[in-house]
Structure 1
Amino acid sequence: MKRSSLVLRRIFLLMFIATFIFPLARGKNMAPAVSKMSKQFNIELVVRTINNFKNQEDVAAFFDVAKKAGVAAVHINVKQDEDDERPSGEVYYNSKIAPVAAGYEKFDALAASIKEGHERGIAVYAWMPQFHDQAALRAHPGWQMMASEKGASKPYKGKTSIEYFVNPIDPEVQEYELSLIMEVVKNYNVDGISLDWLRYDDINMDTGPYTRNLARKEIDVDPLDINFSKQSAVVDRWSAWRAQKIGTYVKKVRLSIKQVRPDIRLTAFLLPPEFVEVGQNLALFSSDLDEVHPMAYFKDWDFPPDWVSGKLMNDIVRKRSASKAIIPTLDGTGTMDQNVHILSGIQKKFPGVKSIAWFSAVYWEPAQIAFIKRIHDTAEKKAIAR
């Protein structure tokens, strides 16, 4: 009995030390231990520079809010994506290759973001759209995407609004876009590169002289002879060939980065599988990515919330290499219940997913970031309760 009492006393003493002494010894600067019960996704934010950062103070204020919300990574738009506030292709860093956006000649938004993000323990990715590039097109008119219209090759200018696409197949275009990526990789301590607009805009392009000659040589097809109004074997051959060219370009990007900064992560924002006409086939370049960010804007495309954890995620899982991280990218629209339902569905069906990214086309209001944090907190509570 005495031996048993001594053993019990030692056990109680060890429990006391573990409960009260060890936490104090960690010190206030140590990160708190993560509960094994935690099932919360990491939060990533996708930021359009033109709408959010005009100076260092803007950047610091944003990252303060991001830190408070527990954001793990931020994708900073360092090359303009759309043609709204500024022409696509202009940049927000100190480039010697591409034109710097007006108002940013003396403010390097990428350098500021890396400084403020890293000081707060937040990873910073350079978000770099590729083939939607007005700045490149204006400097090199011969790079413009050409489209087949009634058997003739015409400069592509968009469907419902003016668009500025350059030809993804043209080696000069590829070298230019790659040179911007490598400029960032060599000069900035980014944690990752996020590719975007890695595509064509429709099935009937490109039909410029270079592409036509190459297609005739490699697949015995002249795109101007194709009837794009109906599905056929030749359309399938053309589609596969175009997608393969995108895949080859991604491999070139991967190898170029690896030679200089093998630690940098490479990801891509991709349209969902319904957009078959744009020539994106993840299966052809998943092995060259570390992550993949499928766009999951369900309201934008009139899909039900279940589409995200259903068709979209199933397609990505089927096409990606097994080791690649999937980070679904939502846009914050929809109700709290809808977004919690989406996150809960992903947690239940795809337990390997660890992060969710959120995109905003406008200014990131602190209240919107707080709303996203509440979505994650609520989804976590539901997961623990299951």
Structure 2
Amino acid sequence: MKSQVLDNKKNPKLLLKNHRFFIFTAQFIIVNCLNIVSVKAATPAPVLSVVQSPENTQHWIGITKRLQTIGVPYCVLPLENVKSAADWGDRQVLFLPNIETLTAEQAIALERWTNKGGNLIASGAVGSLSAPGVRQLLKNLLGSYWGFSLNNKQQLKPPKTQLPAWVNQKGLFGQVHGGVLVPNDGASKAVAVWNSQDNAAAVVSTERSTLLGWRWGTDAASSAELDTAWLQVALNRHISTPANGNQKITESAPNCPAPIAKTPSTSPTSPTDAINPVSTRKQDEAIDQLEQTVRWDVVPNSHEPINAGEAAAMQQQLENLIGRVESAHLAALANAPKSDVSQSVKGEDRQLATTRLVTPIPNQEQVLAQARVIVNNLPRLIANKNYALARQQWLVARNNLWKQFPVDRRLAPAEIRAVWLDRGTIVRAGGEQGLSKVFDRLAQSGINTIFFEVVNAGYPIYPSQVAPQQNPLIRDWDPLAVGVKLAHERGMELHAWVWTFAVGNQRHNELLNINPDYPGPVLAAHPGWANYDNQGKIIPVGQTKPFLDPANPEARQYLLKLYEEIVTRYKVDGLQLDYIRYPFQDPAAGRTYGYGQAARGEFQKLTGVDPVTITPSQAQLWQQWTAFRTQQVDSFVTEVSQMMRQKRTNLILSVAVFPLPEAERIQKLQQHWEVWARRGDIDLIIPMTYAQDTVRFQQLAQPWIASTQLGSTLLIPGIRLLSLPTLGTLDQLQLVRDLPVGGYALFAAENVNHELHKLFVNTQGKFASVINEPIPHRDPLQSAVTRYNALQREWRLVLHQEKLQISPKVISEFHSQAEVLQNALTQLATSPSPRKLLVAKSSLTRFQSQFRVWMRDQNISNSYQIKAWENRLSTIERLLRYGEKRLELNSQQRTNQSPKF
């Protein structure tokens, strides 16, 4: 489905023949065309671009089948390729099926594209997960926005007003599971409504847009017949020369070039730039490449022009930061001891803004006001080409806002607060006494989960009966035994963090003062288990680690025995798989990996082809080879999961993974963690969303947090502390707390300096309740209750101070339904059962739908806080889903342990 890249050296010009002639000269041209039906003598260009993103990938089969039924000639446009208006292409119509996240840059480009005459068709909760400014822009473009989801399927019917002439096809009205659309005043028109008392809008149109209020292309939402009927009439109205009546558009084009992309050699965000085999510093982590492709830099005093996309992003980021600061203050007051809360509320003037709930320094209000002024002034400064001043004011506002975060109050309850405890810190501890001090600091910081580095570069940190050699840096003690003891004494969990397929490290060899080319103890003992690149090298160019061949059955069995030893000899609470992938590769540059003896032999048996002879230009074979390698990793995760469930059902299996786009990740790492999640093999996904600022962090984390492909698995973003300013770290943590996730993981313990330690102690540690607080992955149902209680405290504070302009009738209904949900969650946590789980889930779903209605007006004036509250409700929903999985596992365990007669 993804776009193909044409080599400009072989094909510098592409001539597209139709009733017009265009010549595109480019370094590479993204081409992803679908020739659907036979080409007539005069082949017209496609009239439709269909936008694909990670959010609608799971729907893509259904989307494609429906498009083929209609027979419209179309092109697939990857959303990630869109940076400017030109990137949306020059087709007459653009279709956005079920795309909920657009960047400010993409939204502005979309507005410019429509201003040039483009027509939009969209479906589902389009843009609903985007930033507030983006949602507002899309609302203007589409004439409406997605209000809330309906609980069940409802009948789609015509409105009471006269139907427009273009809604003239049968099969448009039937049972659909969708959501309520909220039209704008004026030019918006509801052309279909839901069969409800208020006849809420289901399809809304403007002169240049049509919005369908359900997830198009999904059988769970609607039938294929109804989907195709609506798209057909929408296309007919938006195409300048529509087909007559119900006639399908059957012409197809032989080529459908997407807009010309920037050359890899000049684009600052090109993945090619990130791969530098002759770098002065060896890059042995794929995250190095990832960080270099996600850039956000506001350089002080720079006079470089600021384009419209950058300007919008700068505004949006300051608005979001203002929202995070206000949200943090509200959470701080809600989580304060009761005596503090009552005193603060009693003495607070009801007319003050929410930001005055807690005031760590006198000028907080002035800073927030000044930041809002800067947000509003940025467009004028940029229009006047005063770029240096715009950047300077932006940086001043950001730094001043950072200083407004409450740093002396508790900010969040019942979250996963994890840290990777690295080998270096363990080695430096030198023994139980030294390691005890490390655990004391982490416990004081409120950390409740330790990822303890147990296997590194092929060396276990404990005396193993399976591995060839214990880490030589450890002498006369067992750090794993000591670590488990220390963690449990402090009420923390300890998960064994293991390197999986990476079994050596040239940097570790330097520490041991041995030959840099030493492959590590495992491959030294078993050289036949080694993996190789396409040049026959064990360690890829520019990297530092040799890998096992995941297709080698003996290597797999060795790892399984090693992990079994860890989880049976030691009372660890879980196992975390790191390096559960192949080394970083770049097939387009001819750097590929995976040619171990076992893999080559097995693939040759399956296909009759030695994979060493295959190149990416052989599309079908290369896809088979990539799928084969990916399957080796997938199946090993399943085997580890099954082994752990058999040994100890209550163990938690987590994975440290890369947040690269799915297709790119499979090509470059063969790491398909969405599959592991959907199969239920893993409990926690920790994407290494490492970034030097909050903007980049959100760009990396947001797609995966919003993903619907993860089943019941909990996702916990990773934050790298190295080089992060202290308040920048707090900013990233606050973003996590305002998103629908249950916690975070910090990399790594060695980077928790004195300043960070003090911050953590003051904002998430030192509270007696932390010790008895549930950990979401261990006790998800009680965590759901705890988090909901905190959410209710925030609502009570805001309602008490009349910060929400809601009628008394709505407030009464709000309180009543909130209490119903409270009772359902409490009863479930107290005495879990499938029936109580069903009641709790139903109550939550109903409350979420009503919440969007109750807060509809507030969403206009305080969209960030309303979205944060919705996200926290979503977190509770995810905890219930994960809790259902844990209940099933516990039930299976009881069944297996019951006596057999």
Give the TM interval when normalised to the shorter protein: 0.7 to 0.9
Distance in 2 between the 1:331 and 1:281 partners? 22
User: What residue number does 1:282 align with?
Assistant: 673
Task: Report the AA paired with residue 322 of structure 1.
Answer: G
Q: 237-246 or 38-47, which moves further after superposition? A: 38-47
1-structure distance, mates of 2:749, 2:412: 31
Residue 547 of structure 2: which of 150, 155, 165 is its match? Answer: 165
Q: Which residue is 2:452 aligned to?
A: 76
Structure 1 position 321, deviation (Å): 2.7
Distance 2:604 2:574 in 1: 37
Please state how far the C-alpha of 1:212 moved relative to its aligned partner.
Answer: 1.3
Pick the aligned partner of 2:434 from 28, 52, 58: 58
Could you tell me which amino acid in structure 2 is paired with residue 338 of structure 1? G
AA paired with 1:64?
D
Does structure 2 conserve the Cα–Cα contact (< 8 Å) formed by 1:266 and 1:289? yes
- Alpha-carbon shift at residue 215 of structure 1 (Å): 1.4
CA distance in 1, matches of 2:657, 2:459: 21
Residue 43 and residue 217 in structure 1: after superposition, are their counterparts in 2 closer, same or farther (change >3 A)? same
1:42 alignment counterpart: 416
Task: Report the secondary structure of 1:78's partner residue.
Answer: strand
- Report the equivalent of 2:487: 117
Q: Quote the Cα distance in structure 2 between the aligned partners of 1:329 and 1:190.
A: 21
Q: Alpha-carbon deviation of 1:173?
A: 0.9
**Aligned partner of residue 448 in structure 2, secondary structure:** strand
* Aligned counterparts of 2:455 and 2:419: Cα–Cα separation in 1: 16
Q: Contact (CA 8 Å) 2:432, 2:482: kept in 1 or not?
A: yes
Letter in 2 for 1:90: Y
Residue 200 in 1 paired to residue 582 in 2? yes
Q: How many residues align?
A: 333
1:177 and 2:559 correspond: yes
Work out whether 1:252 is the aligned partner of 2:631: no
Moved more, 354-363 or 243-252: 354-363
Query: Which residue identity is paired with 1:218?
Result: L
- Aligned ranges 1:1-386 → 2 under 5 Å: 38=412, 41-52=415-426, 53-80=429-456, 88-98=457-467, 99-133=469-503, 134-149=520-535, 154-203=536-585, 204-219=592-607, 221-228=609-616, 232-274=619-661, 276=665, 277-286=668-677, 287-299=680-692, 305-315=694-704, 317-318=706-707, 320-333=709-722, 334-348=724-738, 350-351=739-740, 353-360=741-748, 362=750, 364-372=752-760, 386=865
Contact 1:273 1:312 in 2 (8 A): no
CA displacement at 1:77 relative to structure 2? 0.4
Q: Which has the higher contact order (CA 8 A, sep 6+)?
A: 1
Single out whichever of 186-195 and 102-111 deviates more from structure 2.
102-111
Kindly provide the amino acid, as one letter, of the partner of residue 285 in structure 1. W
Question: What are the Cα deviations for residues 51-72 of structure 1, in whole angstroms up to 9, with x where unaligned?
Answer: 3332001211011111111111
3-state DSSP of counterpart to 1:147: coil
Q: 2:690 touches 2:719 (CA, 8 Å); kept in 1?
A: yes
**Which one-letter code corresponds to 1:289 in the other structure?**
I
Residues 241, 36 of structure 1: alpha-carbon distance in 2 compared, 3 angstrom cutoff: same
* Residues 296 and 328, structure 1, Cα contact 8 Å, conserved in 2: yes
Give 2:747's aligned amino acid: F
Query: Relative to structure 1, is the Cα distance of residues 38 and 47 closer, same or farther in structure 2, using a 3 angstrom cutoff?
Result: closer
- Residue of structure 2 equivalent to 1:29: none
Does the residue aligned with 1:138 lie in a helix, a strand or coil? Answer: helix
CA distance 1:219–1:329, change in 2 (3 Å)? farther
Q: Deviations over 1:72-122 (max 9, x none)?
A: 111110111xxxxxxx11111121122111242421001101111100101
* Residues 325-365 of structure 1: per-residue CA shift (max 9 Å, x gap): 111111113234433343333333x32x1111101284654
Q: Is the 1:170–1:210 Cα contact (8 Å) retained in structure 2? A: yes
1:372 to 1:143, Cα distance in 2 relative to 1, 3 A? farther
- 1:241-278 deviations in whole A, cap 9, x for unaligned? 21121010000001111111111100010122156201
Cα pair distance change 1:238/1:184, threshold 3 Å: same
For residue 430 of structure 2, give the secondary structure of its aligned residue in structure 1. coil
Distance 1:109 1:367, change over 3 A: farther
Instruction: Specify the code of the residue in structure 1 equivalent to 2:470.
Output: V
Aligned-pair CA distance for 1:320? 4.6
The aligned counterpart of 2:127 is none
Provide the rounded CA distance (Å) in 2 between the counterparts of 1:42 and 1:373: 15
Note closer, same or farther for the CA distance 1:364–1:326 as it changes in structure 2 (3 Å cut).
same
Distance 1:318 1:226, change over 3 A: farther
Cα 1:75–1:231 change in 2 (3 A) is farther
Gaps of 5+ in 1: 1-18, 21-34, 81-87
Q: Distance in 1 between matches of 2:543 and 2:669?
A: 17
Cα gap change, 1:122 to 1:266, in 2 (>3 Å): same
Q: Is the 8 A contact 1:93 1:109 kept in 2?
A: yes
Q: Distance in 2 between matches of 1:36 and 1:132?
A: 39
DSSP 3-state at the match of 1:45: strand
Cα 1:247–1:93 change in 2 (3 A) is same
Percent sequence identity over aligned pairs: 23
Q: Work out whether residues 221 and 238 of structure 1, in 8 Å CA contact, stay in contact via their aligned partners in 2.
A: no
**For the Cα contact (< 8 Å) 2:412–2:764, is it kept in 1?**
no
Alpha-carbon distance in 2 for matches of 1:288, 1:232: 30
Aligned to 2:187: none
Q: What is the rounded CA distance, in whole Å, between the counterparts of 2:727 and 2:489 in structure 1?
A: 34
* 1:216 Cα deviation after fit: 2.4
* Matching residue of 2:81: none
The answer on whether the counterparts of 1:267 and 1:290 sit within 8 Å (CA) in structure 2 is: yes
TM-score by length of 2: 0.35
Report the alpha carbon displacement of residue 155 of structure 1 after superposing the two structures with TM.
2.9
